[in-house]
Structure 1
Amino acid sequence: MSERRWPVPTAERLAELVGAALPFGLRSGSPRHAFHRDLYFDTPDGALRRRGASCRIRFDALDRRWLRFDAVVGGCEARVAEVEPRDILLGAAEPARRLRALVDPARLVVHTELEVERWARTAHFPLVPLPQLGLAYDTVTVRGSGAEPMFHELVLWRRRWAVLPVASVARALERRYGLLAAPAPTGRAERAAELRQALERGEASPAPTRRQVALVALAHGRIALCRAGTILRLPAEDGGGEEACRQALRRCFGHAEGEIRLLGVVPATDARPAVEVWLARRLRRDLTAAPPGELQWFAPDDVVARVGSPVLREPTTLAALAVAARSELVPEWSAAPLQRRGRGDSASDGEDGSRVTLSELRVPALPARALEADRPAPEQLINAHLSSLEFNARVLALAEESGTPLLARLRFLSIVSTNLDQFFMVEVGALKHRVAAGIGERSPDGLTPPEELDAIAIRLHALVARQYRCFHDLARGELSAHGIRVRDWDELGPDERGALDRRFAEEIAPLLTPKALTRAPGHPFPHCGDRRLSLAVVLRDEPGGPQHFAVVELPASVPRLQCSPGAIVPLEALVRAGLAALFPGREVVAAHAFRVTRAGDIQLDELATASFLQAVSEQVQRRPWGPVVRLEVEQTMPPALRELLQRELRFEESGMQSALGPSDVYEAPGLLDLSALSELATRAGPAGGTGGTGGGAARSGLDYAELTARDPFAGARSVSGVLDHGDVLVHHPYDSFEASFERFIAEAAEDPDVAAIKLTLYRPGGPSRIGELLRRAAAAGKDVSVFVELKARFDEQLNIGWAQSLEAAGIHVVTGLATLKTHAKIALVIRRAGGGGRTRRYAHIGSGNYNAETARAYSDLGLLTADAAIGDDLHRLFNELTGSSRPPQAQFRRLLVAPTDMLDRFLALIAREADHAHAGRGGRIRAKLNGLADVTVIRALYRAAQAGAIVDLIVRGICMLRPGVPGLSERIRVVSVLGRFLEHGRIYHFANGGEPEYYIGSADWRPRNLRRRVEVITPVRDPSAMARLDRLLEDELADPAAWTLASDGSYSRQLP
């Protein structure tokens, strides 16, 4: 017998067997996931069954069809082109001809319909790559009866050329895993019939229904959603299969007419059943079929904007929309926003109702319990991950605006790609880890990890499509008009190709290593580097022969964009054109670019390590081997090659199984990885960095006008001399970093009266003047202490280098506190003042890193002061940072220090404004910060607003606070200001009944800043500095280009 099958009692037991080891040392490839539907035919009187024959048509998830006919003398199977079952049975395929010899196909009817979810794998010996056996792990649902029973099976069969007997492996599996061979009849249709009969006799109970149909109905470029109160969801129906889909159509549209197709099936979670996602088109839109107002039609971009909000977060709907968002069968999802129709068009009534719905639901109607600020409720909050994606959408909007200089538009496109890389590495990686670990804890706004991943996928596929539309518009328009052309190999002339061929042979080919994509002995699946561009190469040994695959990783040391006269050519185009030299004697059929992103967080046991620096270094070295969380491919890559990459990346040799799924595959319709556009912006003009301060490009109008930074100490003999008379507030890049902070450290390094310099480094970047000045100070005999934070994500290796080089120069270096990051931007200079041994402290407290490069691109604030109380506080903090491994314990008079007392003091300041409002003294809070995500702070702001305080917030990025909700936050306004420079400063203002207080520093109102980091916020008391902060807040709150956050989590702005 060449096949054996065993019944498996439960889905959980089947899942265990999928990953179980095989006997006889057999190795297994990674399991492949698939779905198919089987229709079994017979005459009403059972003519085929009586003659020992059977007939089956199989449909797979890609709508391919196979006809199989079995009889006593043998069987045969063939793939068929016909679509309808009747046409298949009457067709010319060999199984159909044999069938007609036995029975008239016109008499056949469907007697059993089975839907099968399958995990399949092949088994082979370690040194013999040919597969010996096939194994299928099937969950079978019997359709066509009210109960729709379900059963599970393991099937084992012998592959061609196998030398290992099936019977031997079957006995070994039975002994090891307690499998019991299926009794006769073992045919799947017969077992389904017996189970159905047992149900009818009441001798068995069906498996619980774990399947649901969700309908993605499209008409005139719009998608149908059902409205129930304040909730929007896709039409859905319990059950599965085409009949359940038609039933959903009948219930929602009053008829079952329409062209339907299965898009995919999503496995069940704890919050919902398995979901079959069906696409329905060519519908007859009967708007009277559903209850008035229930069924409405929305543009896909309106749907995307509300995914994850209280309006649109039903679990089945999220799962189904995630499938639609990635499907090539739903091009509307990535299309440009459609023009709204007028009243004369056929869809106007439904669209008018949809616009009313969107207007009504823009301010979510929260339940009464959610209006109590002291009572936690998920409806009070916006999802942090979706808020982060909204930030990137606003950055993308800057690239889309024609008023933004051309080179800046390229940089903004590049920034979006870089931000999304980090989003996948950190946020998506963490969510996938929770799913894999079975951690079902909901987010503060109430979504489970799978629901968050679905919502992210829906938003991201649309965002990436929008990003590529912007790039293509630029390439065809402004870039081309200025002679900047990104061209493929086919667009080049002979002379251009010749020059690039020589460059490839001399400079690029020696750096390439082709790697076979095979499981043959000695050729493990090649490791794909994190965020490294690669080519998947399709090869043949001879024309017409079988295809083989290989991977060629592009060298990171070579510029991605290669310049030739009159054109810029992507590196992958050069490598693709030169592949024949890497594979002599073989035919290069095709080569498709792809790129993987890996989870990037490091796992560090900070309390157990003996050497903190060594532990961080080891973990950073493991990062390139993290599980894959995203696969980007060229749009032209065929489905089979995508599936191969996805399957192999999920089960790499490293043993770290990835949760990579279909929603994590992103198509690039053109240049893959648009972060390379930063190279293009640099090459097209002398402006570098986000700020774009280059003169030539600015003069030509390609970039922002050159910025001349102010010298805040112009004409002063010394920084300390100025600070002896008052504080100085600096605002970079408008105030020169070199002429302020760098001068402050330079004078301290040279001043013989300076005894000590202390400062923190979080992201200092590469070698800089700051490092030189610190080493010079140490060489002069000064006491220099530097706290280098090794755990600054993705800068760990740079910071390790800083720590080692500073320590080698005799500087006292501290490299971290256990369980905390030191994010504070603080510096202290201790100087002898006159005789008698008296000293005076000079301090800098800021929001930005001590990094001259980022100081030109980021907008940051810093306070230089000789205030005795601030200096004393800062000195005590440095003593704790350098003298203890525990969190700071000291009490501070002026400074707000996290995690010691910052949260409590901010809460007290907010509560004070609520008290002022209660007393009629007009409480007001204004804040400018990068992110607002601490739930305790958010609820304190809600309480202040309910008490009558006015709250105005300028939040650049993540904001979980939901503004403008009547009864909760109608006195809270949130805006986001983005532009030429990355807004990085933090300002906190409390009106205090007419005695205003201002604070600046490094901390946002996020849990990590207030609870898991060492942060410093300082009061600003100098009148001129306070006035400058006031103007800055008022200007940004009144900025017509600012985005305003709506209650549903979306952003909009009214440009003049």
Structure 2
Amino acid sequence: MSGADFLTADYPEPVEIEAEGPARFFNRELSWLAFNWRVLDEAQNPRVPLMERVRFLGISSTNLDEFYTVRVAGLRELANAGNRTPSSDGRTPEEQLVLINLNARALINKQDEVWEALKDEMETSGIWLLDAADLTDEDRTFLDSYFMSNVFPVLSPLAIDPAHPFPFIPNAGFSLALQLERPSDGRTLQALLPIPAQIERFISMPCEAGQQRYLPMEQLLMLKIREMFPGYEATGHCAFRLLRDSDLEVEEEAEDLVREFEVALKRRRRGEVVRLKVSSGAPPKLRNLVMKSLEVTETDVVEISGMIGLADLAELVSAAPPDLLWPPFSPRVPERVQDNDGDMFAAIRQKDMLLHHPYESFDMVIRFLAQAARDPDVVAIKQTLYRTSNESPIVDALCEAAENGKSVTALVELKARFDEAANIRQSRKLERSGAHVVYGFINYKTHAKISTVVRREGNTLVTYTHYGTGNYHPITARIYTDLSLFTCDPALGRDATKVFNYIGGYAQPEHLENLYLSPTGMKQKLIKMIDKEADYAAEGKPAEIWAKMNAVVEADVIDALYRASQAGVKISLVVRGICAVRPGIKGLSENIRVKSIVGRFLEHSRIVCFGNGHGLPSKKAKVYMSSADWMGRNLNRRVETLVEITNKTVQAQVMSQIMAANLADTAQSWVLSPDGSYVRADVEGQDNPFNCHRFFMENPSLSGRGSAGAGDVPELTHTPD
């Protein structure tokens, strides 16, 4: 299916479904698993460089682990509590767990199969993974020294007997279980060898130039049993890795929120085991010891015939030869910023500027704040922080600003899953610098991405505002596609200030001018705009919606999309991950098309365009960028923003560049079928299928153009041939 076909294709009509019944929705959890199958498929995509395919394999494993520690753990709690409340698609928690288990086991088996194929290709390319039988005498001499210098000092071999009970193994902990025997007297011993996460999984072995040879750490440890357990020999062993429930529970009435989160983080480390991966062929006695000690049932155990812990393959990718990776890419500095000698405020004063990351450098966001920290005319900075890096230049800039005497308010979200500890550290660093740190709401996560800088210019105060669709995280910004809107529009500045007042002082914002906020009205605005398109269709006017999200599962919004489809609105959705919309059903959703893009960069920006009675693209369209996916949590239980874009150049950039290119993509696209399956876009006969990531790498953003103007920048108002 080509890009043009995607917008107009007729789906084959599937089995009839009730328009009001639960079958109108796809199951959220199974849809997520379908996304991870698409990620895994990139590990087999011949158009992807070899070691990038290895990276995709590792990502699929990491994704599945997180899915189990959060989503599956939550469903288990509901099922164990006897909760039979069905999801929107009509399945109880217990029914969902059965389907998840079948699907996930098939996915793991496929991961093993893909890994075996990739290993063969790696060997052809000069990258070898060894086992003990492959080692030469020189290798063993090297390993003797390596083991004593780099491994032995951090190991803690543990006997398992009544005096030495089975130890606590943390989430994602990787260990060897051992059956040992002393030849001198026949004494047996069961033991455990936890493998610290602080040591590398793969040992780089001496080799000839142009080759790479690695020995997995577990292979080395099995060679060194006698050094760790003198006098004993291994008669049996198995490797295992476990996953624990990683959800946090926080007391709503906690007097000290930071302290409560620190306690909750410790509780999470000791969460119930939700999955145990064990190497196949494990001695039954040893396997039963591990299962009994960790209190898991057979349902929770998965036998792995290949490598346990595929996420560790990232070590091999990081050391891979450049010719086996994506070609290097350097993000652009917008021409307008260069024309103004790097002065962000001067560039923004000229007109609104939308940057498309990672194609335009995220360093511009850092520069915006760093410049504000040192500018004597800046009097105040306000900043939301949901996720950021450990050594964050954003936090450093805020600290510098506070130390320079500026009023700095940082809204740090402690409930950012898996980043809670890092955010606690950042909040304390900010407080030490003199910044005012706010933690927001107990019941809501603050997921909005906003930064304001108040600058004295003449006799007035001017507010410069940054709205983003992604986190203030300079590392993930290299691979996540996101939007950054810089503006000094007074209305957007006032809106941002009201949002900060709402989060910091619970002051419900009134009379927002170009901004919609969840949980106080964004969902209602979206449904109203969708219904308005349905009204245009009923009047015989052009009616069209384009939207790009990471996930679409909110039932009320989906039902609004169905109503619009029934009225004749043409709806094109680009949904990277979870999608509960069932497209192409006659009488329900025959005018809805859904695609997913999986490629070099992680699609993360959230965009929605309404034709507003004029079709798309159109200068009369309503265009928005958002921090929120269309999920219940985002629209009902988080503080999120939906920002209307009124600048015509930025509108054209979003519709005629970003959205049009996403809709036109065939190289990385999957089309969602009415039965829930995803089918790769048909690129047969295309020598160079259109790749939206490549297009963005090669073409500058419209609104970032400088004195050269925007006239020579391609706009994708039509699908490329």
Question: 2 CA distance for matches of 1:974 and 1:925?
Answer: 12
Residue 760 of structure 1 aligns with which residue? 384
Q: How far off is 1:922 after superposition?
A: 1.9
Does residue 983 in structure 1 map to residue 603 in structure 2?
yes
For residues 942-981 of structure 1, what are the structure 2 equivalents within 5 Å?
Answer: 942-981=562-601
Residue 667 of structure 1 aligns with which residue? 303
Does residue 822 in structure 1 map to residue 446 in structure 2?
yes
Q: How far off is 1:641 after superposition?
A: 2.7
Q: How far off is 1:490 after superposition?
A: 2.1
Please, which runs of 5 or more residues in structure 2 have no aligned partner?
Answer: 1-10, 208-212, 615-619, 685-721
8 A Cα contact 2:250 2:264, kept in partner: yes
Match 1:539 to one of 177, 180, 183: 180
Match of 2:115, SS state, is helix
Amino acid at match of 1:1050: S
For residues 523-538 of structure 1, what are the structure 2 equivalents within 5 Å?
Answer: 523-538=164-179
8 A Cα contact 2:236 2:283, kept in partner: no
Match 1:563 to one of 201, 204, 212: 204
Q: How far off is 1:546 after superposition?
A: 7.0
8 A Cα contact 2:468 2:482, kept in partner: yes
Amino acid at match of 1:1002: S
What RMSD over aligned residues (CA atoms) do the two structures have, in Å?
1.6
Residue 622 of structure 1 aligns with which residue? 267
Residue 905 of structure 1 aligns with which residue? 525
Q: How far off is 1:399 after superposition?
A: 0.9
Overall identity of the aligned pairs, in %:
40
Question: 1 CA distance for matches of 2:663 and 2:432?
Answer: 48
Does residue 1023 in structure 1 map to residue 648 in structure 2?
yes
Amino acid at match of 2:604: H
Question: 2 CA distance for matches of 1:721 and 1:450?
Answer: 58
8 A Cα contact 1:755 1:783, kept in partner: yes
Residue 247 of structure 2 aligns with which residue? 601
CA distance 1:574–1:723, change in 2 (3 Å): same
8 A Cα contact 2:594 2:671, kept in partner: yes
Residue 504 of structure 2 aligns with which residue? 882
8 A Cα contact 1:593 1:634, kept in partner: yes
Residue 846 of structure 1 aligns with which residue? 468
Match 1:858 to one of 475, 480, 491: 480
For residues 468-617 of structure 1, what are the structure 2 equivalents within 5 Å?
Answer: 468-477=112-121, 479-518=122-161, 520=162, 522-542=163-183, 545=186, 547-566=188-207, 567-606=213-252, 608-617=253-262
Q: How far off is 1:545 after superposition?
A: 4.6
Q: How far off is 1:618 after superposition?
A: 0.8
1:362-416 Cα shifts (integer Å, max 9, x gaps) = 854234xx22xxx4x2111101001111111101111111110112111111111
Match of 2:128, SS state, is coil
Amino acid at match of 2:249: Q
8 A Cα contact 1:362 1:1048, kept in partner: no
Question: 1 CA distance for matches of 2:285 and 2:56?
Answer: 34
8 A Cα contact 1:489 1:497, kept in partner: no
Q: How far off is 1:1028 after superposition?
A: 1.4
Match 2:57 to one of 413, 420, 434: 413
Residue 370 of structure 2 aligns with which residue? 746
8 A Cα contact 2:225 2:233, kept in partner: no
8 A Cα contact 1:942 1:968, kept in partner: yes
Q: How far off is 1:575 after superposition?
A: 1.3
Match 1:722 to one of 347, 355, 358: 347
| TM-score normalized with structure 2 length | 0.89
Question: 1 CA distance for matches of 2:183 and 2:169?
Answer: 27
Residue 465 of structure 1 aligns with which residue? 109
Residue 663 of structure 2 aligns with which residue? 1037
Residue 278 of structure 2 aligns with which residue? 633
CA distance 1:406–1:903, change in 2 (3 Å): same
Question: 1 CA distance for matches of 2:455 and 2:140?
Answer: 65
Match of 2:82, SS state, is coil
Question: 1 CA distance for matches of 2:518 and 2:67?
Answer: 26
Does residue 808 in structure 1 map to residue 432 in structure 2?
yes
Q: How far off is 1:670 after superposition?
A: 2.3
Q: How far off is 1:542 after superposition?
A: 4.3
Residue 719 of structure 2 aligns with which residue? none
Amino acid at match of 1:1048: D
What is the total number of aligned residue pairs between the two structures?
Answer: 658
Does residue 684 in structure 1 map to residue 334 in structure 2?
no
Question: 2 CA distance for matches of 1:581 and 1:706?
Answer: 44
Match 2:80 to one of 418, 436, 443: 436
Instruction: Show structure 1 runs of 4+ deviating over 3 A.
Output: 361-364, 541-548, 888-891
Match 2:555 to one of 900, 920, 935: 935
Residue 624 of structure 2 aligns with which residue? 999
Question: 1 CA distance for matches of 2:482 and 2:239?
Answer: 39
CA distance 1:640–1:1049, change in 2 (3 Å): farther
CA distance 1:680–1:834, change in 2 (3 Å): same
Question: 1 CA distance for matches of 2:134 and 2:307?
Answer: 15
Q: How far off is 1:524 after superposition?
A: 2.2
Question: 1 CA distance for matches of 2:267 and 2:511?
Answer: 40
Q: How far off is 1:531 after superposition?
A: 0.5
Question: 2 CA distance for matches of 1:736 and 1:820?
Answer: 31
Residue 35 of structure 2 aligns with which residue? 391
Residue 512 of structure 2 aligns with which residue? 892
Match 2:326 to one of 695, 700, 704: 704
Question: 2 CA distance for matches of 1:768 and 1:721?
Answer: 25
Question: 2 CA distance for matches of 1:989 and 1:605?
Answer: 40
8 A Cα contact 1:877 1:890, kept in partner: no
8 A Cα contact 1:425 1:599, kept in partner: yes
Question: 1 CA distance for matches of 2:583 and 2:372?
Answer: 47
Amino acid at match of 2:356: H
Q: How far off is 1:482 after superposition?
A: 2.0
Question: 1 CA distance for matches of 2:509 and 2:357?
Answer: 32
8 A Cα contact 1:730 1:863, kept in partner: yes
Highest CA radius of gyration, 1 or 2?
1
Q: How far off is 1:960 after superposition?
A: 0.6
Amino acid at match of 1:636: G
Does residue 922 in structure 1 map to residue 562 in structure 2?
no
CA distance 1:448–1:661, change in 2 (3 Å): farther
Question: 2 CA distance for matches of 1:591 and 1:488?
Answer: 16
Amino acid at match of 1:556: A
Question: 1 CA distance for matches of 2:191 and 2:177?
Answer: 6
8 A Cα contact 1:363 1:1048, kept in partner: no
1:910-944 Cα shifts (integer Å, max 9, x gaps) = 11101011111121111001000100100000000
Residue 15 of structure 2 aligns with which residue? 365
1:784-811 Cα shifts (integer Å, max 9, x gaps) = 1100111100011111000000100000
Question: 2 CA distance for matches of 1:575 and 1:797?
Answer: 32
8 A Cα contact 2:237 2:283, kept in partner: no
Question: 2 CA distance for matches of 1:544 and 1:424?
Answer: 45
